[in-house]
A and B are shown apart, each in its own frame.
Chain A
Amino acid sequence: MFDITFGLLPPTIVDLIIDATQQTLYMVAVSGALGTLIGLPLGVFLATSRAGELFAAPWLNQTLGLVVNAARSTPFIILVVAIIPFTRLVAGTSIGTSAAIVPLTVAAAPFIARLIEAAIREVDQGLVEAARAMGASPIQIVAKVLLPEALPAITLALTLAAVSLLGYSAMVGAVGGGGLGDLGIRFGYQRFMPEVMAAVVIVLILLVQAVQTLGDLLARRLDKRSRG
């Protein structure tokens, strides 16, 4: 196989980096998907349940808002350790890459919910009024107006969430989650191998660039507002 490191790193280290990259991608992809699954409906609800809104439930809105804020204000590394019993309950174990998905999801869901809420709130209220005037039900307004109109903003929000998850995933080495961050700490820092650290950073930069570029491109294609 062609050596992409031009001989700077021994093949064993290259294998380690490839493994770690796969672990990182796996954790980010699964926790991102699960976080979206929870965060999207939560965000839509937060954006539409204040007094006088489509699904008006001010008390539930405030309660959920508090829970979301609490989850978001806990530093991720604390969260990882604090929810170990929950992680064990869900994943059957509290260590390993799959187990790390639990705290990543718990951190991602409220973050994504807030981003989705902001994206939905950006939709012109005039469109909601127009849809109501057409006889649309609240569910139809969400499905046919709010989500489709917010789609470019939602795409950017999920891109941001994915980039943040790449960062978070570096910390799950603390519970044996593996991944690029863990590799960087164990080899680059603890074993004094700066070339490994450099390789890890470069791979992370490339991943973030790729995710951001893809997200921007997709959002731009979805956005029909800026055409001549």
Chain B
Amino acid sequence: MNAPLTLAAAVPTLPEPSVSAAALPVPARSIIRFERVAKTFPARRGHAAVHALSDITLDVPEGAILGVIGRSGAGKSTLIRLVNGLEKPTGGRVLVDDVDIGALDEAALRKERRSIGMIFQHFNLLARRTAFDNVALPLEIAGVPRAEIKARVEPLLDLVGLSDKRDRYPAELSGGQKQRVGIARALATKPRVLLSDEATSALDPETTEQILALLRRVNAELNLTVLLITHEMAVIKAVADKVAVIDGGRIVEDGATYEVFARPRHPTTRSFLAALTAKSLPRRVAERLSAEPRDGRDQAVLRIVFTGEHAQDPVLSRVSRLLSVDVNIIQAQVDEIAGTPFGVIVVSVPGDAPTVSAVINAVERLNLTAEVLGYV
């Protein structure tokens, strides 16, 4: 693949790509930093004040992809809008590259925004501009001369694989192509940070995968820090190095994606993970799954997560022998999260409470996590 070559042309003044964060002896410095941030929307006619975010403290290391996951209304949209000053915090500070975004006046903020790209769920492309002219828009806004714009836009369209669509209008492009234009547009001003606001939520799974791969690529090759928000655990799993789970305006859990997937601590995180697992369960199981046991003959469906160091252990046979219970494997798969192998086994065991808790205990003693997905 000649991608690096293309990228070098797209962003000629880019500094040398830094070594990946994991290889550094000291943690990479934070490029986005939330310091005890709060955002309250004032009360309006008939509506009480809304505490959209409270006490948010979060660091996005330079060059990382950090995913914020939460349900709608959890405050994630507000959170991402604080980074480029589309919203101002009512408490605490949001720092981007050590600049306090909330303290900037409008003119300084406009300038700062040029180093922060943003992509959107509904792409937000101008319908009356071609792909080329859409990518050119931020450069026109920044006052870049016409000739230079051409020299900058073409390599970007090349980078996102849309050189042949340069004169097409958004209505003539597919969803994935529109988001590629959106990404090229966000990169036009050579930002250090890319904000992704549910960028794949309007796309089908296959297109989602392509867009996420493109994000991964620009992250790696341009050393671009990405802050993305999503309501889909699959997106986090596919691209995020780090994850923060947001619920009710607070970050309830955060850490390396692998860690959070392997050992989720908060119920919200668990339910996101359970939804991810349940989606891939065989139909006959998924259809019959209920949250509570219906009668004594029900089987409990457990999700057991194997992390790298335990992947070789004969856990199931050990548990089965130890407790003399029949363990029936429903599904097993090995994924890779942030580059580390990650095994998930879904099993069923007799659904009576003592057996279920004994199995969970036994699994947890082996330093793995197990949780009940439901009963069949």
Residues of A within 8 A of B (CB): 124, 126-127, 129-137, 140, 144-145, 148-149, 151-152, 222-228
Contacts and interface: CB of A to CB of B under 8 A. Distances in A.
Q: For the complex of A and B, list the 3 residue pairs with the smallest distance between their C-beta atoms, beginning with the closest.
A: A135-B113, A130-B124, A224-B169
Contacts of B332: none
Contacts of B172: 227-228
B141 A225 contact: no
Contacts of A225: 127, 169, 171
B241 to A, nearest CB: 24
Interface residues of B, number: 29
| Chain A facing B: main interface SS | helix
Contacts of A133: 84, 86, 113, 116, 118, 195
B124 A151 contact: no
Of the candidates B126, B137, B138, B170, the one having the most CB atoms from chain A within 10 angstroms of its own CB is B126
A126 B141 contact: no
B276 interface: no
Given A133-B84, A135-B114, A222 B141 contact: no
B171 A144 contact: no
Given A131-B137, A133-B116, A152-B128, 5 more contacts: A126-B124, A132-B86, A133-B118, A135-B110, A149-B126
Contacts of B109: 135
A102 to B, nearest CB: 35
B138 A222 contact: no
Given A133-B84, A134-B114, A136-B110, A151 B137 contact: no
B133 to A, nearest CB: 10
Contact of A126 (B120, B129, B138, B171): B120
Contacts of A151: 128
A108 B194 CA distance: 46
B140 interface: yes
Contacts of B127: 149, 223-225
B137 A134 contact: yes
Contacts of B111: 135
B138 A135 contact: yes
B217 interface: no
Given A224-B171, A228-B172, A136 B128 contact: no
Contacts of A223: 127-128
B189 interface: yes
B20 to A, nearest CB: 28
A129 B86 contact: yes
Contacts of A145: 126
B353 interface: no
Contacts of B128: 148-149, 151-152, 222-224
A126 B169 contact: no
A136 B126 contact: no
Contacts of A129: 86, 120, 124
